[in-house]
Amino acid sequence: MEVNGYAIEPGSNLFAANLSSAELSNAPLRSAILRSASLQGATLEGATLCAADMRQAILTDASFEKAHLAGANMSSSFLYRANLTEADLRDVLLGEAELGEAVLRRADLRGADMRDAKLEGAVLTGATLEDARLEGAVYTDGTQFPIGFDPSQAGMVHA
């Protein structure tokens, strides 16, 4: 599979690639290097991105609905308004990521490292947060959590 002149396959080196608005549904990108890539507005629904390096990637308005991202490194990435509904985010590194207004409804975040992430206005209703690291993550009154979840007990900071 090729998109915008880039090979879309497991282990692809897409460092700083411009894939904005690309249609990548069900793309096989396991262990791909997407560091500093621009995927703004891209559709990655059902894509396999397990163990991908997505540090500092621009993922604003991207759709990862039902995507497989277990073990991916998304530290310091920009996921503003991204749709991660029902995504598999087990053991994902999201430290210092910008997740403002992102939708993580029913996402599996077990074991995810979200320390110091920005979650202002994010929707986490129905998300699984067991063993997730949330110390220092910032939330607002508009952030929606799963029933019974206490952000202060998780070490989160109210903005």
Tens of pLDDT along 19-71?
A: 999 999 999 999 999 999 999 999 999 999 999 999 999 999 999 999 999 99
**Per the structure, how many domains does the chain have?**
1
Banded pLDDT at 79 (limits 50, 70, 90):
very high
Domain presence at residue 148: no
Q: Which domain holds residue 51?
A: 1-138
pLDDT, tens digit, 9 for 90 and up, residues 137-146: 999 999 999 9
Domain presence at residue 158: no
Reported pTM? 0.96
CATH label of the domain that carries residue 86: 2.160.20.80
pLDDT at 92 (0 to 100): 99
Q: Cβ of 135: how many Cβ atoms within 10 Å?
A: 13
Exposed, middle or buried: residue 21 (CB in 10 Å: 0-12, 13-18, 19+)?
Answer: middle
pLDDT at 51 (0 to 100): 99
Domain presence at residue 145: no
